[in-house]
Amino acid sequence: MHSNDDMAPETYSIGKVAKMIGSKVRNIRYYDEIGLVKPSSHTEGGHRLYTAEDIWRLELTATLRYLDFSIEEISQLFSGDLSVDKALDWQIESLSIQASALTNMISILQQAKQGQGDSMRYLYDLVQAKASNVEKRNRFIAERVEAGDLFNGVPADWQSPMLHYFNKYIVNQEKTTAQQIAAWNELQEIINDPQFLEDTKNTDFSFIVKELQPRYDADTWIKKLDQFYIRLTQALENKKSADSPEVQAIIEESLSLYSNTEQTIYNLEFLNAYMEHVELTSTPLIDRVNRLCAIMNPQLNLLAEGNNVFIQNLRRKMQSEQENEQPES
């Protein structure tokens, strides 16, 4: 007991907590530093003190990490910005990709073992047969875009920017891991799904072009996207979380691409239109594609997670502004 107050909860030092939950002190200290699980109090000397509730959160964090949840996903779960059902769906999807990749690798190894002659050459040939090269991936996307009439009504110079991130950082990846290959194979299946094409048509690309054109031309927009990507890469290397000021600043600036010269991103009229667009783009298949893209590219994962945080904050801001606009009774 570390308190003279009989009603105060019992607290434990960080060293004792580490032994109780079978963790390392540096892990617990790290969770405090990033704001994931902070101690309820400190000693007069500044040493961390944890309650039973704190220890439960640490144990839950360890369990979620064991199940391959990211730090950002755990943070969103604790804050309530991510529902448990949604988090479980995402994790099941992510692990299913990993399982598919492992199954594929086992199959390749078994075939190589049974093969005759040069096993190493056979291994190489098997992997190459499973993995689509850049040319095949580009051809596949081009055929799907043309067959699906995805960009009906969108000017030709805006069609490339609409798929810029996807083409440059996923389709044109030179090297892919087994897990990325599995993700790409599933992406192909979804893109071939007529329902997915219908979902993407309903997102109305003309909305983006209509809001965008007055501010930037297509070439400028692409350059700005690449600048955002470079900054995301730096944020990822510096281990910045999706809700960090650095990542949220990138998301806010990227959102400004969708407003015209007479709008700011916090103009209520624009926000309403943008949020309607966000709702349209949130379908099970589109969400799944976004998750697969995140598996294939860590920067896009950080972008997606940061955008989720931003949208949550935006909804709260809009709700607050709408409440303030309501006349008093």
Cα 69 to its chain centre, rounded Å, is 12
Mean pLDDT estimate for the chain = 79
- Residues contacting residue 244 through CB under 8 Å, at least 6 positions apart: 235
Distance, CA of 49 to CA of 2 (rounded, Å): 9
Whole-Å CA distances, 182 to 28, 133, 293: 34, 14, 11
Whole-Å CA distances, 301 to 67, 121, 304: 18, 35, 5
pLDDT score, position 3: 47
Phi, psi of 239 (to 5 degrees): 60, 40
DSSP 234-288: HHHHTT--TTSHHHHHHHHHHHGGGS-TT--TT-HHHHHHHHHHHHHT--HHHHH
Residue 86 has pLDDT above 50, yes or no: yes
pLDDT score, position 207: 59
pLDDT score, position 247: 86
pLDDT score, position 55: 94
Distance, CA of 325 to CA of 317 (rounded, Å): 12
Per-residue pLDDT tens digits for 104-151:
778 878 877 776 667 777 777 777 766 667 788 888 888 877 776 667
Per-residue pLDDT tens digits for 158-213:
777 777 778 887 888 777 777 788 888 888 888 888 888 788 776 655 556 655 55
> pTM for the whole thing?
0.61
Residue 1 has pLDDT above 70, yes or no: no
Distance, CA of 13 to CA of 45 (rounded, Å): 12
Give the CA dihedral 39, 40, 43, 44, nearest 10 degrees.
120
Per-residue pLDDT tens digits for 5-44:
556 689 999 999 999 999 899 999 999 988 889 999 999 8
* Pick from 3, 24, 15, 4: nearest CA to 47: 15
Give the CA dihedral 159, 161, 165, 171, nearest 10 degrees.
40
- Residues contacting residue 109 through CB under 8 Å, at least 6 positions apart: 123
DSSP 88-117: HHHHHHHHHHHHHHHHHHHHHHHHHHH--S
